[in-house]
Structure 1
Amino acid sequence: MDIQAASLLSEMQAMQSELRPLVPANNVAPQQDFAALLSQAVGNVNGLQHSTDDLRTRFETGDESVSLESVMIAAQKSSIAFDATVQVRNKVVEAYKTIMNMPV
């Protein structure tokens, strides 16, 4: 495994650990506002896309401090984050439709 792949793997593992909710010792999940979590997730995806656009622009204008590899990695990160967000949205819509079609 090369150095870039190892650093990307460690970065992905760090992001995964940030996403896992912490469960206290008494096994009661903390109360969290779903709307706030969803808003934060969409904000993170939006931030990734903006930083990727910034890196692309800097690379295209000839900034020597930006490498093609960093642009491609940033583009893949934002693409994966966007795809994951779309999948979560699809699951939420599917669950909503299922609940709305339940007989009362």
Structure 2
Amino acid sequence: MIDKTTQAAGVADMLAKIRAYQSQMQNRAGAPEMPAMPSMPGMPGVAPLEDTNRIGKPSFAEVVRTSIESVNDLQSKSAQLREAYEKGENVPLTDVVLGMQKASLSFEATLQIRNKVLKAYEDILNMPV
């Protein structure tokens, strides 16, 4: 029998993580970039910093790659749990179902993000010049 409270808690936890990531991305999108400080000719020995905007910011490609890797990890862990359960190893069915639900939810979220990115790309392509 499936423990519905454990399954609901896992799904709620995943949903909370997705919402936290969304709020982080919205906060980053709304924050204005700070302009670079100009060099001060009156202060010898103090050189301006080069390319300070790149410090601590992952590139878009890195964010996409790590996100897809985490979805892939969830799917592979789900498959491993399922195989272990099918072989008769000591794996609770609730863990198997919860792992499958996490993998499914993360894949669906990734699919929806892909659809929104493609829609935005199509909208940009269709803009009049």
Normalised by the shorter chain, which TM-score bucket? 0.7 to 0.9
Matching residue of 1:48 = 74
Report the equivalent of 1:33. Answer: 59
Q: TM-score, normalised by structure 2?
A: 0.64
The alignment-based identity, stated in percent, is 34
Q: Which has the higher helix share?
A: 1
Pairing 1:70–2:95 present: yes
Structure with bigger RCO (C-alpha 8 Å, 6+ apart): 2
Distance in structure 2 (CA, Å) of the matches to 1:10 and 1:103: 43
Q: Would the alpha carbon gap of residues 13 and 96 (structure 1) be closer, same or farther in structure 2, given more than 3 Å must change?
A: closer
Gaps of 5+ in 2: 34-55
Query: In the aligned structure 1, how far is the partner of 2:85 from the partner of 2:106?
Result: 22
Query: Is the aligned partner of 1:89 residue 2:114?
Result: yes
**Structure 1, unpaired ranges of 5+:** none
Distance 1:99 1:52, change over 3 A: same
Assess, with a 3 A threshold, how the Cα gap between structure 1 residues 84 and 16 changes in structure 2: closer, same or farther.
Answer: closer
Residue 10 and residue 86 in structure 1: after superposition, are their counterparts in 2 closer, same or farther (change >3 A)? closer
